[in-house]
Structure 1
Amino acid sequence: MDSETMNIKNKENYRTRNLWSGILFGLGLVAFIDETVFHQLLRWHHFYDKSTTDIGLISDGLFHAFSWFATIGGLFMLADLRRRNALWLNRWWGGVLLGAGVFQLYDGIVQHKLMRLHQIRYVENVIIYDIVWNIIAIAMVVTGVILLYQTRPHQQTGGIVSHDQ
């Protein structure tokens, strides 16, 4: 394989790695915020509310561990991209918003409504909370997709840019 082909292959690998680093970080970050704010501080619900409080707390602990693994994994990938001077910041932020929004939309539609694992908050008029939750998720997904669209390879002059941009 000649050097030109290797450079193209490396750029493609870094483009994908920027995306997945952002997705993992965004997914983990929004899960961490959900767990910390809504589960622990406000105590509106647990990850699994169909059993005892003890089971709810255990499910929260597992959810919290998952969010940390995703966040830390994304940050390790980010550090590697910076070390290689291959961080494509706009693409990474697109991945962050996409990962965060998809997770929140999944949580709001699948876990809250289809599986009924928990609700955002147990109040009489929960639909307001559901609408706000899902609109924020959709806004994050749309913004992330726009950033990713803008960072398609043929849109960039050099493919991969430094972490300064």
Structure 2
Amino acid sequence: MSTKTKRNFINIGSFILGFGFLGSLDGIIFHQLLQWHSVIMDTSRPEQIISDGVFHLAVTITLVVGGVFLWLAGNPTDLSKGIRLLVGGFLMGGGIFNLVEGIINHHILKIHRVKPDDPNALAFDLAFLGMGALLLVIGLLVRKSGQKQEIKISA
């Protein structure tokens, strides 16, 4: 496998895995453990359970797809700064999950909020978006720092 193909598999796989992982954490923590919200709040409990089940199935499939890409990529340490690509992509995928899910579901579609019955519901929604932005920025910095070092080494 070429270095470019391996790098692409790591980039795609780590991003998808991070996206699915944050989706799973959202479902486990906010839906199940804290029971703050469900995917679709304005339904009966059986419909909420179905909507959450479809969500959990989707993020599980996402985790498997990300894992397959990473398996195909092989050992990330075979590449210069491969671990940085892996970690950076994972954090970026997780950050994008929070941003996309937060913007679309919490603000545009308004199908649920992070903690809808709280008087500070907007603060919870903004914190969710802020965490997504923070993960995205950290992921970008991890990847960028690896690229700078790689350029210095090869120059």
**Where in structure 2 are there 5+ consecutive unaligned residues?**
none
Change beyond 3 A, Cα 1:83–1:15 = closer
- Separation in structure 2 between the aligned mates of residue 128 and residue 28 of structure 1, nearest angstrom: 24
Change beyond 3 A, Cα 1:145–1:84 = closer
Q: How many residues align?
A: 150
2:13 maps to which residue?
21
Normalized against structure 2, the TM-score is what? 0.86
- Separation in structure 2 between the aligned mates of residue 55 and residue 156 of structure 1, nearest angstrom: 55
Pairing of 1:103-114 with structure 2 (within 5 A):
103-114=97-108
Give yes or no for contact 1:108–1:134 (8 Å, CA) kept in 2. Answer: yes
1:11 maps to which residue?
3
Post-superposition offset of 1:86: 4.1
**Where in structure 1 are there 5+ consecutive unaligned residues?**
1-6, 159-165
1:74 aligns with 2:66: yes
User: Which stretch of structure 1 is more off in the superposition, 37-46 or 78-87?
Assistant: 78-87
- Separation in structure 2 between the aligned mates of residue 144 and residue 14 of structure 1, nearest angstrom: 19
Measured on the aligned residues, the alpha-carbon RMSD in Å equals: 2.1
Q: Alignment partner for residue 140 of structure 1, among 135, 150, 155?
A: 135
* Higher Cα Rg, which structure: 1
State percent identity of aligned pairs: 23
Q: Alignment partner for residue 94 of structure 2, among 90, 100, 107?
A: 100
- Deviation string 1:94-139 (CA, Å, 9 cap, x unpaired) is 1101100001011111110111011101212112212221111111
Post-superposition offset of 1:152: 3.7
